[in-house]
Amino acid sequence: MPLQCKQGTSMTISIGDHLPAGQLTECIEFDATTACPTNPQTLDIIEQSQGKKIIIFGVPGAFTPLCSAQHLPGYIKYAEQLKVKGADEIWCLSVNDAFVMAAWGKEQNATGKVRMMADGSAIYTQALGLDRDLTKGGMGIRCFRFAMLVDNGEVTYLGVEGSGEFGVSKAETLLELL
């Protein structure tokens, strides 16, 4: 499958590459009294991707308009179909903390469909080469809107969006690819 990428973006990850070593954080537990996410777990990317076909899609931020209205909801809506077509897991990656990602996933009803993976300091996003500086807009370092298909740790599709674009990273695109 060809690389779908906006001209001028520099990336360290490409089709045929293996995911770099690194960690993400996930919260799947909630306090019964406060309903706040608890007990964040640090996950090893290499270990988590072994022997699986995973869709990883990245968003600039949890609770942002396009991400909340279309990007994450699309993957939730098509999760079952994506899994029937071969995806073992679907990960949503954002440069937010694990508590925010868990709360956003709960609000969007992502549980059991999409894993909400936090990269709070943008370390893994930078390792992928998919980081962008949105400091002028008050958002700091974030990730590009993207989607990738990863088979046993190897990237087989990568679609990176330009500013204001939404096509190569949406769930329907990945549904067609599988």
Q: Which residues pair with 15 in a beta bridge?
A: none
Measured at the alpha carbon of residue 151, what is the angle toward residues 147 and 157, in degrees to the nearest 5?
35
Strand-strand pairing, 146-151 and 53-59: antiparallel
Amino acid at 155: V
- Residue 67 designated active-site: yes
- Beta strands (DSSP E) in the chain are 23-26, 29-30, 37-38, 41-44, 53-59, 89-94, 115-118, 131-133, 141-143, 146-151, 154-160
- The catalytic position among 5, 67, 92, 143 is 67
Coil, helix or strand at residue 90: strand
Closest CA to 155 of 43, 3, 25, 44: 3
Residue 3 makes CB contacts below 8 A (sequence gap 6+) with 14, 15, 158
Query: Phi/psi at 83 (nearest 5 deg)?
Result: -70, -35
The residues that are catalytic are: 67
